[in-house]
Chain A
């Protein structure tokens, strides 16, 4: 039997803790007095080499604080961060890390080329190396034909692509992306994910925060769901589904009328004339379900079968309450 190589962790966060508020209110990191907010409460995650890890969570769950802590912009009260196996202290030791902020953090009066040049230099790219890397970045972002235009004239999608390019010009091996596709059209989103896939193809590991659950489901190899500063679940989509809502499919039947007596195993959907249930094997169980409904004197107008989704997992783990 061939030996399976263990995945290499390029980034590891262990028991990260951070509270915000007046100093007196967070004197003890284990407890948070009045006026203090726990942003991180023991969060841990691992990013493996060459993967795209989706970091999901409701608003205020601690995603941005965790990303900023990894980027060296937030000093943790407790816990540890390791990059390539080396513990990070303060803001040092992050030369192999790239950060793409949620904001379009580029200079609007500079051209795309000028922005790439200055951000490359600021990230330590040698002067002799700048030109070829900028040219590659312009090709990569499909901005070569607009390279000499001020960025303020760009569309949202173009700015987003440039924003990403400015963060990876120094060729980091780990890139943190905070909502890189927010506010862009489907075409630009597609292009951005193509760019990220190219990065992965070069062996770059990506940690991506997003609220686009379908995208995370489709693009990320693994997912971490964080809530209240703690990791609620982590793993592949299948693992998350198995660990939370189970692998059974959801089935919704739309009827001409509801049966006179409730059918065992079915739940009202909340919508008029609809029943829901769950099945493990659609091919085996669905015909029997339809026969039971017909026997109850109801006519089936429509059948919907749903796979377990990340959305369902997310709601299962984080609830439906608003977090603002």
Chain B
């Protein structure tokens, strides 16, 4: 009896391509995607933290710190940018505090380092009298400020070892008495070597550190620079990270509900109501338009419920962001509805739709940042994410809720979502031709 039942099951499995794909192909696809997102496939470097640097001090020490920051492998440093309001390709000018702050607020960089006036004079004092370097941060990326803070301490050691040594000798002379002329001549020679301007015996023999090179012990010298992380976006918000998760989850489930609602078209094909509709005064374009409007309205309602729940249960500040929320929700729902129609018109059965939509939506959600913030992914993964629906929708919501961006700042996201909507609707219409007159 059991062998007969087993034979039936295996024969069904052998002849059902959808079940085969769900059982064997989908796990491999998902494994590959998540390995790429979370593990960078072992080949890709961890993303370099983008950082803006403002040198208000203009001293030799601050200049050398800026140079060292630029050479740091873990950072992608910029010291210039076009003025506020200028075209992106306008001539760049040296950053000041206001411009750097604008860059952080706009999401161009997660951290801006502001080196204050008087920094050089107190550099290397090893006490609390040093001027505080501010890290203007966008804490939607909670990792970046911490990484930059750590690297700043490391770079301080490697940037100006001669200045640190001078400070040390000065302290020694202050508390232990002056050096002899011979000792001073030797230490001056050593400072020259640390400065990287004069060769020395130790340099020749390779026993001393070289300027700008990796400093082996630097990581242990925490606290050399007084640094303070300033949260320029989230500090006034009651529960800022909720907006991120609300948007991420809402967009992912919007895609699921859109594909499910779009799948009603397949039900209509199966039940014969689509055939009947096509013998009525409704054309295929009208039918698709009707479905699209319905799925769009459903999506708007779904996202609204999600954010209202976020407001009630998690103190999400929805009321102060209503215009941006409304615009983003409308455009996101329109694009998601188009996506659902494409899937429905592409598939031949509900079963096929379920398999394909699961693969596509979870893939898009993983790459697009619904499950895991994109800024924590590798650079290549972040770029791949731009090909997903989720990334553009999420970026828009984050601009609204996190950066308090004006409506005009949403134009790139709205333009992409509009283009996606148009493409989805055209593709769905073309695919639906198979149900029209034969």
Minimum distance in angstroms from A240 CB to a CB of chain B: 30
Interface 9-mer from B169-177, B270-278, B315-323, B411-419: B270-278
Residue tally, chain B, CB below 8 Å to A: 13
- Give which listed residue, A75, A105, A108, A124, contacts B276 with CB less than 8 A: A105
With both beta carbons as reference points, the residue of chain A lying nearest to B270 in the complex is identified as A103
Within 8 A of A (CB), among B254-288: 271-273, 275-282
Contacts of B275 in A (CB 8 A): 73, 101, 103, 105
Of B271, B273, B278, B281, which contacts A73 at CB under 8 A? B278
Query: A55: CB under 8 A from chain B?
Result: no
Contact B280 A105 (CB under 8 A): no
Judge if A137 is at the interface, Cβ distance under 8 Å: no
Complex Cα distance, B275 from A108, in Å, reads 16
Nearest A-chain residue to B277, judged by Cβ? A122
| Chain A residues at the B interface, C-beta cutoff of 8 Å | 20, 68, 71-75, 90-91, 94, 99, 101-108, 119, 122-124, 166-167
Q: Which residues of A contact B282 (CB under 8 A)?
A: 122
| A to B CB contacts below 8 Å, 7 in the list | A75-B438, A99-B276, A102-B272, A106-B273, A107-B273, A108-B271, A122-B277
Which chain A residues lie closer than 8 Å to B438 at the CB level? 20, 68, 73-75
B281–A124 touching, CB < 8 Å? yes
Q: Which of B271, B280, B281, B437 touches A104 (beta carbons < 8 Å)?
A: B271
CA distance A106 to B276 in the complex (A): 9
- Knowing A74-B437, A91-B437, the reply to whether A103 touches B271 (Cβ < 8 A) is yes
B178–chain A nearest beta-carbon distance, Å: 96
The chain B residue with its CB closest to the CB of A74 is B438
Bound: A102/B275 CA distance, A:
11
Interface pair A73/B437, CB less than 8 Å apart: yes
Beyond A91-B278, A91-B437, A102-B272, 4 additional contacts (C-beta under 8 Å) are A105-B276, A107-B273, A122-B281, A166-B276
Q: In whole angstroms, how far apart are the Cα atoms of A317 and B48 in the complex?
A: 82
Q: Mark B416-438, 1 if CB is under 8 A from A, else 0.
A: 00000000000000000000011
Asked if A123 and B281 sit within 8 Å, CB to CB, the answer is: yes
Decide: B437 and A105 in contact? CB cutoff 8 A.
no
Smallest CB gap from B437: residue in A: A75
* Chain B residue contacts of A107, Cβ below 8 A: 273
- Docked complex Cα distance between A90 and B282 (Å): 14
- CB < 8 Å: which of A71, A105, A123 contacts B271? A105
Residues of chain B within 8 A (CB-CB) of A20 are 438
Q: For the complex, give the distance between the alpha carbons of A106 and B272 in Å.
A: 8
Nearest-Cβ distance from residue B271 to partner chain A, whole angstroms: 6
Chain B residue with Cβ nearest A71: B279
| Chain A residue at smallest Cβ distance from B281 | A124
What residues on A are CB-neighbors of B281 within 8 Å? 122-124
Q: How far is the CB of A250 from chain B (nearest CB, A)?
A: 41
Q: Point out which of A72, A103, A105, A167 has the most chain B C-beta atoms below 10 A from its C-beta.
A: A105
Asked if B273 and A123 sit within 8 Å, CB to CB, the answer is no
Q: Residues of B contacting A106 with CB < 8 Å?
A: 273
A123 nearest in chain B by CB position: B280
Name the residue of chain A whose CB is nearest to the CB of B286. Answer: A122
Residue in chain A with minimal CB distance to B273? A105
Across-interface contacts of A108 in B (CB, < 8 A): 271
Contacts of A99 in B (CB 8 A): 276, 279
Q: Roughly how many angstroms separate A124 CA and B282 CA in the complex, as a whole number? A: 9
Of all chain A residues, the one with the shortest Cβ separation from B276 is A105
Report the Cα distance A73→B275, complex, angstroms.
8
Evaluate contact between A104 and B272: CB separation under 8 angstroms: yes
Minimum C-beta distance from B274 to chain A (A): 8
